[in-house]
Amino acid sequence: MYVLGMARTDVRVMREATALQRAGMDITVVDIERDSNRPCQEDVNRIHMKHITMPRWFMPERFKPWFLIKMIWLMILGTLKLINTPADIYHAHDDTALPACYLAARIRGKPLIFDSHELPLVEPMVTRWKLLCTLGQWLLRHMMVRCSGVITVSRPIMYEMQRRYGGPMAVVIRNIPSFQSPAASNALRAYLGLSADTHIALYQGNLDSRGLDKLILAARFLNPGNMIIMMGQGVIRSELERSIMRERVGDRVKIIPPVPYTELLTWTASADIGLVVYSPDAASTITPNIQMCLPNKLFEYVMAGLPVLASSLNAVADLIKTYEVGRIVPSHEPEEIGHAINAMLEDRQALVCMRANALAATRQDLNWERESKRLIDFYGEIRATR
């Protein structure tokens, strides 16, 4: 496997590598490591890692032309590392890792798997460079038709990738946590010193630009006793905190730091509902990747037994309706979001039913133990064709 990032902190990479390792395969992950104190090779949770060590200043944070030189240099280093790592199958995590894996697989005459964590080449930071984006799309089509198999994270992305780039029809392997039975918890209320009758709508994950400001504006319309908690970190945290002060909703919106992933489910289970409310800001629209996403937090909420209030996103809405585990907010307007949160929190009987549905769904279907079988079967099919 190859990923242009730190594999040890990438939940999807580690889940897949561990599932394949437990199925009897010998896994090596080549990744980019920023910690120069770590060894060039090490085993992490029994997965062998080969690191390409790069200083933090070298890593691109956003797409700019002068980063092309660095990305080309990374591709050369990655290709050399992969060629010097004999393998029966090469597995590229995302389009940034695909060129090096493609070259290594072609040189060694081995199967290539492309694991697309999102729809490639559609984000505004990429599409604004039209010539480079067009070149990237051409290269992606060229490489994808030569892949032995393709993986992605949701059915809408599966169909859109096939329409845009051709190649094998992708297999959907969703980002679902391993099954855990949630225990009763009061972690959020205890941390913030809230009363037992406070009703909590939780957003957990990266604090990015996906319309989180709308949640702060929506807080003005929350009924007394209802609260939004954002648990996470990100580049716009200070901006969100300023917005909370400006709107004078500090008693109704709280931002708290993230917790270790091993403790996350306990904290999540102490909320009343989970939020997947993505909305565009004034200068943009919802991107295709947001519209088609199945975010990790959705499965984390459901596994914790939380009913979900979500925007009308294709795959998210389909899952919520299929398992009857939440409701869809009808609008991106702050007032409508606030009213939707109130209505959901106040319908205690419906919350009990949706919680029971969520827990049943995770026991029967929405767990990594079941999802990983698709990955193992997929690999079996690739190997059987050799």
State the Cα–Cα distance between residues 225 and 346, nearest whole angstrom. 10
State the Cα–Cα distance between residues 180 and 183, nearest whole angstrom. 9
Q: Which fold has domain 187-364?
A: Rossmann fold (3.40.50)
State the Cα–Cα distance between residues 183 and 229, nearest whole angstrom. 20
Sketch the domain layout of the chain as residue ranges.
2-176+367-384, 187-364
pLDDT tens figures, 193-226:
999 999 999 999 999 876 789 999 999 999 999 9
Q: In this predicted structure, what is the pLDDT of residue 59?
A: 54
pTM of the model: 0.90
Q: In this predicted structure, what is the pLDDT of residue 164?
A: 95
Q: H/E/C letters for each residue in 167-203?
A: CCCCEECCCCCCCCCCCCCCHHHHHHCCCCCCEEEEE
Q: Does domain 2-176+367-384 have CATH number 3.40.50.2000?
A: yes
Q: What is the DSSP string of 118-153?
A: S-TT-SHHHHTSHHHHHHHHHHHHHHHTT-SEEEES
State the Cα–Cα distance between residues 286 and 291, nearest whole angstrom. 6
Residues 6+ apart with CB under 8 A from 159: none
Long-range contacts of 351-354 (CB under 8 A, 24+ apart): 351/272, 351/273, 351/307, 353/324, 354/307, 354/324, 354/325, 354/326
Decide if 2-176+367-384 and 187-364 have a common fold.
Answer: yes
SS3 356: helix
Q: Which residues of the chain have pLDDT under 50?
A: 282-283
Strand bridging mode 41-44 / 47-53? antiparallel
Q: In this predicted structure, what is the pLDDT of residue 251?
A: 95
pLDDT tens figures, 89-102:
999 999 999 999 99
Q: In this predicted structure, what is the pLDDT of residue 279?
A: 74
State the Cα–Cα distance between residues 6 and 33, nearest whole angstrom. 5
Q: In this predicted structure, what is the pLDDT of residue 283?
A: 43
